[in-house]
Chain A
């Protein structure tokens, strides 16, 4: 196990510990007087009816999928940035082709209104 990951491990432990700590503090010191009303989901004062979930516009999913696609694209930039200098012009052209192909998709998505809300 390479030693240089120890700071990251410490950070993870701290973050997890903090999360537990915050929840625990709220649990220990916060007043709790639950009533039936309080347990209900908040719907602007109305009495809730029906299930909380309903059919959502498919647009939400589309945005999520597009996010993932561009996210994966970004993953490729990271190694490229590391060896950018060694690769020189060749690497630049390579990356430009990669980006242009995705840019075609971006223009298409834009023109089709995939990023618009109604």
Chain B
């Protein structure tokens, strides 16, 4: 079969290309579609790393639900036709310089490992199987799990409070 490294390189290229495509698309809808491609390729990367549940969550939540919301907003607002906003004159050169510095430092750090950055140890293959993950989530991570539900509740209240129409309240 194809070795993992080949798959990884292909997926990495797709992920980077779609990310670049997202940034440079003139049309916001193309950006969103590129982002979906990016999310999907990252999801497959998770699969290669042996994390099927994360991959699934990535597809359903990010590539699915959240991107639907993005597209929804873009289309309803007509944001795809927005003109480019004015940028500060010094913004572009400064950002290019900063990005270049980041790239150089990152390459140096990765190639020469001056700071003792070790390669990640290979996890136990069962470490992130859905069953093992669930065991952990519902035992060790009990508190974070319950707090998540409160977070969702707060988000729900927030969405309703901020969008509710004034005066005319629908009640029964």
Contact = CB atoms under 8 A, between A and B. Distances in A.
A and B, direct touch (CB closer than 8 Å): yes
Interface of A: 1-3, 5, 51-54, 56, 58-62, 64-69, 71-73, 75-76, 78-80, 82-83, 86-87, 91, 94, 97-99, 101-102, 104-105, 108-109, 111-114, 116, 118
A103 B131 CA distance: 26
Contact of B153 (A61, A67, A104): A104
Contacts of B152: 69, 72-73, 102, 105
Contacts, number: 130
A51 B77 CA distance: 11
Q: Is the interface of A mostly helix, strand, loop or mixed?
A: helix
A94 B146 contact: yes
Identify whether the interface residues of B are mostly helix, strand, loop, or mixed. Answer: helix
Nearest to B66: A68
Interface of B: 1-2, 4, 7, 47-48, 50, 53, 56-57, 60-61, 64-66, 68-69, 72-73, 75-78, 81, 130-131, 133-135, 137-139, 142, 145-146, 148-150, 152-153, 155-157, 159-160, 163-164, 169-172
Nearest to A79: B134
A64 B50 CA distance: 32
16 contacts: A3-B1, A5-B47, A52-B78, A71-B65, A78-B56, A79-B53, A79-B137, A79-B138, A82-B134, A86-B135, A94-B145, A94-B146, A98-B146, A101-B150, A108-B160, A112-B170
